[in-house]
C-alpha cells in the first residue's frame, strides 16, 4: 500500500511531469555548468542540502552537469536571485515562501503564525496537494518549483532584553522578511518591523540600526548573530519552508533525460536536507546556549502571543483566500487525528 508521504511525493513528480515533452524527444545529456544561489551560509543545513544536490546531479549525469553553489548571498539577496531565475542568469535558488508572496499571494499561507505544531506537519502540507498545487503555478512566472526544503521555526533575538512577555516586544526594531504578513505580524505585537535583505542583517545588528531579528536557530548560529545579539527567545512563532526554484528558461532548454536527473536529485537531496535540519536543531540550541542568554516563553505568554496575532491570521485568511486556508487546516486536522 502506498503511504500518504509517497503519494504526496508522487504528486510532485506528476506535476513536474506535465512540463516534460514526450519521452521520444529525449536528447543526450549536454555538458552544462549551472548556478545555485541562496542567502544562507554554506554550512547551514540548507547549504549542505545544496551541495548534496550538486553531487547527485553530477553523479546521475555522469559528470556532464555541474552545479556551482553560491551561498551566503554572494551574488545578491533573494530579490536579485528571483530576478536572476526569471531572467535565466541564475539556474537554481531557494528562498522563504514569504518572498514568493509577490508572485502568488497563496504562498503566504505557509507563513501564518503558529500554524504548524512540528516540522512533520509542515512537510506533509508542503509535499501534499496544497504545496504541489502552489509549486505547479510557478511556471507562468518563469519559475519551476522542485520541492520545499526545511528552514525551521523562527525565534527572536535582540540586543536589549529577553522577550518573555508580549510587552517586551513594544517598540523593538526588528528586521523582518519583506513580506506584508511579517510586517503586520510584528506591528500587531507592538514591535517596529523593518524589512531588509538578508545579507544586510548582520551589519544592521552590529551598528544597532535594528535591535533584533527573527530566524530559525541554524540561521542564527551559522550567520554568527550571537556576535551582535545577546538575547535569544524561543518563540517559534512562524515555520519557514524554503522552496527550491529553477529557472524555467534553463528547464525549457533541457532534454527529458536531463530534467529527470534534476527532479530525482532534488527529491533525494530534499529528504537528506530535512533529516540534517531536524538532527542538528538540538545541537544548535545547545551551542547557542553557551553563547547567548536563552529563554523559553511560558505557555500562558505563548497563548497571549497567539491572541495578539489572531487579527493578522483573520486578515490574511481573507487575502490568501478562505478555500486554500480551509484546505491547509483540513489537512492538519487529518494529520493530528491520525496520531
**Average pLDDT of the segment spanning 275-302:** 97
Q: Per the structure, how many domains does the chain have? A: 2
| Whether residue 92 sits in one domain with residue 41 | yes
| Whether residue 45 sits in one domain with residue 96 | yes
Rounded CA-CA distance 129/24 in Å is 29
In a domain? residue 111: no
Residue 240 has pLDDT above 60, yes or no: yes
Rounded CA-CA distance 288/285 in Å is 5
Q: Could you list the residue range(s) of the whole structural domain that residue 305 is in? A: 155-238+285-337
**Average pLDDT of the segment spanning 103-126:** 96
Residue 15 burial (CB count, 10 A):
17
Cell output for 239? 515555520
Residue 300 has pLDDT above 90, yes or no: yes
Rounded CA-CA distance 118/336 in Å is 11
Residue 134 has pLDDT above 60, yes or no: yes
Name the band, by pLDDT with cuts 50, 70 and 90, for residue 339: confident
In a domain? residue 257: yes
The span from the first CA to the last CA of the chain, in angstroms, equals 19
Rounded CA-CA distance 107/97 in Å is 6
List the one residue out of 95, 132, 128 whose CA is nearest residue 18.
132
CB 173 within 8 A of CB 293: no
| Whether residue 82 sits in one domain with residue 45 | yes
Strands (E) across 160-269 are located at 173-176, 192-195, 212-215, 231-234, 239-247
Percent of the chain with pLDDT over 90: 89
Name the band, by pLDDT with cuts 50, 70 and 90, for residue 28: confident
- Lowest mean pLDDT across 3-12, 111-120, 250-259, 272-281: 3-12
**Average pLDDT of the segment spanning 2-25:** 47
C-alpha atoms less than 13 angstroms from C-alpha of 174 in its C-beta half-sphere: 28
Top pLDDT among 17 and 206 is at 206
| Whether residue 310 sits in one domain with residue 289 | yes
Name the band, by pLDDT with cuts 50, 70 and 90, for residue 247: very high
Strands 173-176 and 143-153: unpaired
List the one residue out of 221, 197, 201 whose CA is nearest residue 209.
201
* 139: phi then psi, degrees, rounded to nearest 5: -55, -30
pTM of the full structure: 0.89
Rounded CA-CA distance 26/12 in Å is 21
pLDDT tens across 196-232, in order?
999 999 999 999 999 999 999 999 999 999 999 999 9
H helix runs in 66-172, sequence order: 78-87, 119-127, 129-136
| Whether residue 56 sits in one domain with residue 140 | yes
| Whether residue 61 sits in one domain with residue 196 | no
CB 259 within 8 A of CB 20: yes
| Whether residue 124 sits in one domain with residue 145 | yes
| Whether residue 182 sits in one domain with residue 76 | no
Residue 34 DSSP symbol: E
| Whether residue 81 sits in one domain with residue 53 | yes
| Whether residue 227 sits in one domain with residue 252 | no
CB 73 within 8 A of CB 39: yes
Residue 179 CA to its chain's centroid (Å): 13
List the one residue out of 124, 150, 328, 114 whose CA is nearest residue 238.
114
In a domain? residue 110: no
For 208, residues 6+ apart whose C-beta sits below 8 A from its C-beta are 159
| Whether residue 329 sits in one domain with residue 228 | yes
Residue 99 has pLDDT above 60, yes or no: yes
Average pLDDT of the chain is: 92
Domain CATH for 317: 3.40.190.170
Rounded CA-CA distance 36/247 in Å is 10
Residue 273 has pLDDT above 80, yes or no: yes
In a domain? residue 106: no
**Average pLDDT of the segment spanning 314-337:** 96
pLDDT tens across 155-205, in order?
999 999 999 999 999 999 999 999 999 999 999 999 999 999 999 999 999
In a domain? residue 3: no
Residue 338 burial (CB count, 10 A):
7
| Whether residue 291 sits in one domain with residue 328 | yes
Amino acid at each position: 500500500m502506498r503511504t500518504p508521504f509517497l503519494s504526496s511525493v508522487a504528486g510532485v513528480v506528476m506535476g513536474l511531469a506535465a512540463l516534460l515533452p514526450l519521452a521520444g524527444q529525449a536528447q543526450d545529456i549536454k555538458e552544462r555548468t549551472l548556478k545555485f544561489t541562496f542567502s544562507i551560509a554554506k554550512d547551514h543545513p540548507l547549504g549542505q542540502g545544496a551541495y548534496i544536490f550538486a553531487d547527485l546531479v553530477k553523479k546521475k549525469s555522469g559528470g556532464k552537469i555541474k552545479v556551482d553553489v553560491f551561498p551566503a548571498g554572494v551574488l545578491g539577496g533573494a530579490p536579485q536571485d528571483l530576478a536572476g531565475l526569471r531572467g535565466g542568469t541564475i539556474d537554481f535558488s531557494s528562498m522563504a515562501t514569504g518572498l514568493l508572496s509577490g508572485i502568488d499571494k497563496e504562498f503566504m499561507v505557509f507563513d501564518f503564525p503558529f500554524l504548524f505544531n512540528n516540522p512533520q506537519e509542515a512537510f506533509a502540507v508542503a509535499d501534499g496537494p496544497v504545496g504541489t498545487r502552489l509549486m505547479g503555478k510557478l511556471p507562468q512566472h518563469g519559475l519551476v518549483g522542485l520541492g520545499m526544503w526545511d528552514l525551521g521555526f523562527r525565534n527572536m533575538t535582540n540586543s536589549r532584553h529577553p522577550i518573555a512577555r508580549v510587552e517586551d516586544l513594544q517598540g523593538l526594531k526588528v528586521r523582518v522578511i519583506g513580506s506584508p504578513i511579517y510586517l503586520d505580524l510584528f506591528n500587531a505585537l507592538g514591535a517596529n518591523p523593518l524589512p531588509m535583505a538578508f545579507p544586510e542583517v548582520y551589519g544592521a545588528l552590529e551598528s544597532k540600526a535594528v535591535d533584533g531579528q527573527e530566524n530559525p536557530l541554524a540561521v542564527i548560529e551559522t550567520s554568527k548573530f550571537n556576535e551582535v545579539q545577546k538575547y535569544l527567545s524561543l518563540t517559534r512563532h512562524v515555520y519557514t519552508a524554503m522552496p527550491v526554484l529553477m529557472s524555467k528558461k534553463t528547464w525549457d532548454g533541457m532534454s527529458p533525460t536531463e530534467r529527470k536527473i534534476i527532479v530525482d536529485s532534488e527529491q533525494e537531496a530534499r529528504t537528506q536536507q530535512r533529516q540534517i535540519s531536524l538532527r542538528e536543531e538540538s545541537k544548535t540550541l545547545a551551542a547557542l546556549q553557551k553563547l547567548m542568554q536563552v529563554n523559553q516563553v511560558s505557555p500562558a505568554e505563548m497563548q497571549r502571543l497567539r491572541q495578539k496575532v489572531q487579527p493578522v491570521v483573520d486578515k490574511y485568511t481573507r487575502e490568501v483566500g478562505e478555500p486554500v486556508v480551509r484546505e491547509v487546516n483540513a489537512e492538519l486536522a487529518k494529520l493530528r487525528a491520525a496520531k
